[in-house]
Structure 1
Amino acid sequence: MSRTIDYGNLMHTAMRGLIRTVLSDVAANGLPGQHHFFITFDTLHPDVELADWLSDRYPGEMTVVMQHWYDNLEVGEDGFSVTLNFGDHPEPLYIPYDAIVTFVDPSVEFGLRFETQSHEGDDEDGEAFAEELDEAPMSELLEEESNPQRDAEVVSLDSFRK
């Protein structure tokens, strides 16, 4: 058995830690300036928690916006919970970091995209997978968020400003 350095998973862990650090700061101090986040996540991830009507409406991926109205942001080691308002219906969500597909802060042109690619024989248990992180060009991430090629849609929370 040969041992190799798994750079893909090391980057995965580091970038999930970056998201955790950013969200921890926001939980403690609020969003500074014009910062806001588009967070796309896999609604089929086994540890995601969201209302049945949301999982029915977004049966694969969902993009949420943390900007003007969010509540109860709690950041944990494996994921975060937050309450967001969907058409005057506050809904709690729990999103594990491993479920995040993209994390974008357009105010500073920062974005991360996490991709899963299959490789034969990567895991002794027969699970052939590897996580890779791609820091995509901001224009590409913003274009995807404003023109998603999936059933999910970006939900603007501007109308719920306090």
Structure 2
Amino acid sequence: MTRKIDYGNLMHAAMRGLIRRVLEDVRDHGLPGDHHFFITFDTMHPDVEIADWLSDRYPGEMTVVMQHWYDGLEVTGEGFSVTLNFGDSPEPLYIPYDAIRTFVDPSVEFGLRFETQEDEDSSDDDDEDVAPAGMIDIDDDAEAKPKPKKDADVVSLDAFRK
């Protein structure tokens, strides 16, 4: 068996570390200026903790916004917890970094997308293949309509395999 450098997972770990540092800064100092976050996560991830009615309403993925009102932001090495308002109903959430699919701050046109792909061609490797996190193209109207995915945003690791 030949040892390989797993660049996809290394990139994901680095980008999730960046999210952690950003959230730690927000926890300590609040959201500066017009900064706000759209965070899309996998609601079926085994470590996600959300109210049953939210997981029923969003069975797969959900996007939350941290902007004007949030409370109790706690940041750990594995994920973060925060209370957000859903139609005048505050709900606590716990989101592990591994469950995050996108992290976007449209105020500064910054975004990350995490994608996993099953490698159906590999029978000797049970690990999932991970495409590197990519920057998301953001425009000023991001809140009204998400931009369609572009082929250039995601690089398949299969292209580099022999």
What is the Cα deviation at residue 54 of structure 1? 0.4
What is the Cα deviation at residue 127 of structure 1? 4.3
CA distance in 2, matches of 1:69, 1:136: 25
CA distance in 2, matches of 1:123, 1:14: 27
Range moving further from structure 2, 52-61 or 111-120: 111-120
Cross-structure match for 2:21:
21
Percent sequence identity over matched residues?
70
What is the Cα deviation at residue 4 of structure 1? 1.7
Describe the superposition over 1:99-134 as per-residue Cα deviations: whole angstroms up to 9, x where unpaired.
00100000000000101112243874x344435312
> Are 1:37 and 1:103, in contact at CA under 8 Å, matched by a contact in 2?
yes
CA distance in 1, matches of 2:98, 2:113: 12
Cross-structure match for 1:47:
47
Higher relative contact order (CA 8 A, sep 6+): 1
What is the Cα deviation at residue 146 of structure 1? 2.5
- 1:72 aligned onto 2:59: no
Q: Which residues of structure 2 form unaligned runs of 5+?
A: 149-162
> Are 1:122 and 1:130, in contact at CA under 8 Å, matched by a contact in 2?
no
Describe the superposition over 1:17-75 as per-residue Cα deviations: whole angstroms up to 9, x where unpaired.
00000000000000000000000000000000000000000001100000000000000
How has the CA–CA distance of structure 1 residues 147 and 98 changed in structure 2, closer, same or farther, with 3 Å as cutoff? same
Range moving further from structure 2, 128-137 or 43-52: 128-137
Runs of 4+ in 1 over 6 A off after TM superposition: none
Cross-structure match for 2:36:
36
Secondary structure, aligned partner of 1:94: strand
Return the letter of the residue paired with 1:19.
Answer: I
How has the CA–CA distance of structure 1 residues 123 and 7 changed in structure 2, closer, same or farther, with 3 Å as cutoff? farther
- Please give the TM-score of this superposition, normalised by the length of structure 2: 0.82
- Please give the TM-score of this superposition, normalised by the length of structure 1: 0.82
> Are 1:48 and 1:99, in contact at CA under 8 Å, matched by a contact in 2?
yes
Cross-structure match for 2:98:
98
> Are 1:111 and 1:138, in contact at CA under 8 Å, matched by a contact in 2?
yes
What is the Cα deviation at residue 135 of structure 1? 1.6
Cα RMSD of the aligned pairs, angstroms, is 2.2
